[in-house]
Amino acid sequence: MRDTGEFLFTSESVSEGHPDKVADRISDTVLDTFLAADPYSRVACETLVTTNRVVLAGETRGPGTITPELLAHNARLAIRDIGYEQDGFHWANADIAVHLHSQSADIAQGVDSAGNKDEGAGDQGIMFGYACRETETLMPAPLYYAHEILRTIRDLRKAADRSVAGLLPDAKSQVTLRYVDGKPIGATSVVVSTQHEAGMEQSDIKRLLWPLVEATLPKGWMCPEAEFHVNPTGNFVIGGPDGDCGLTGRKIIVDTYGGAAPHGGGAFSGKDPTKVDRSAAYACRYLAKNVVAAGLADRCTLQISYAIGVSRPLSVYVDLQGTGKDVDETKLEKVLRDVMNLSPRGIREHLHLNRPIYVPTSAYGHFGREPDEEKGTFTWEKTDLVPVLKASFGR
């Protein structure tokens, strides 16, 4: 993102009830079910959801106690928690087919440790991490506020006082911010599309959402009323998997940085931490966030690459985008390799990833979230490397 001149930048988010996010939630429910039974389970689960139908497919390796019936039951509970009790998609009535089979022996032999061979990466690929000073969470502002709008609506939709009665689980948001000299100064437009019960007037939904969005954005940032677009098609009654097929991994930009930083292309949900698509992307965010939190730069993009079956990363690349505070990027690349073991085993042990912690990641972004010490979630959002990074550069 440019740091001079004036420009607009847009990011979107989708709610937990969006069809693709329903699929992500179910895939991560399968993963957490396996990890709760055996922390070293292997899971690569893909989910498809459509009108009253759920299909699970992929590869697993874990305890025999994890039966298709258990996985189907847990999938139903996930759908119920999201809030789907509609004729076209109902947690109790949907047909759930489980087509999971054993992990490929060819993949397993590359990943498993044996003799002097350390645990290898579960696939080849490139992973990126990013952090910036636009928000307190060190996330890009357009995505942060797009997430916050939908989280607020979700919380109110599930609240006992039913202050947004009539709104249903499927929703999308989009926030366009104006930047001046690299800093966001306000919203020029906001889009919110939310599924709703039949009979609700669009003008009433807009009046309901205006104060919620205005309160979510920083004071004075709300866009002009003419640029606040609510359900632009005019009606959104048929939604969720009944309105659109959902698949695991189709919202990877929503999951990461909203387009403000590169993405390696790999999806996260449904994958155990031997899959560097997920674990190394978490490590990249962790390192980039600590670099910015340590005051070494205002922005940091980090890339790591792997080969399947090889434990060490093939490359580590850092780009401070001209915002480094007297920091040599080549030296920083070496320091980051020193402060964290970037092998798949090193990452999962450092960030404690072999735990059933993934369902909360399946909606509203994998990054910029608050670590929970008790639950062990979002460990990659900690800034515990700040002291050693500062010391490495004489700060």
Q: Compute the distance between CA of residue 194 and CA of residue 45 in angstroms, rounded to an integer.
A: 28
Q: Compute the distance between CA of residue 284 and CA of residue 304 in angstroms, rounded to an integer.
A: 7
Say what the pLDDT of residue 116 is.
47
Say what the pLDDT of residue 395 is.
84
Q: Strand, helix or coil at 359?
A: helix
**pLDDT tens string 171-212:** 999 999 999 999 999 999 999 999 999 999 999 999 999 999
Say what the pLDDT of residue 80 is.
97
Q: Which phi and psi (to 5°) does residue 216 adopt?
A: -75, -40
**pLDDT tens string 70-109:** 999 999 999 999 999 999 999 999 999 999 998 765 555 5
Q: Strand, helix or coil at 16?
A: coil
Q: What is the pTM of this model?
A: 0.94
The pLDDT of residue 114 is above 70: no
Q: Compute the distance between CA of residue 246 and CA of residue 21 in angstroms, rounded to an integer.
A: 7
Say what the pLDDT of residue 246 is.
98
Question: If you count them, how many residues does the chain have?
Answer: 395
Domains of the chain, earliest start first: 6-14+141-239 (3.30.300.10), 19-111 (3.30.300.10), 125-133+251-392 (3.30.300.10)
- Mean pLDDT throughout 133-149? 98
**pLDDT tens string 307-340:** 988 889 999 999 999 999 999 999 999 999 999 9
Do residues 27 and 195 lie in contact, with contact meaning Cβ atoms separated by under 8 Å?
no
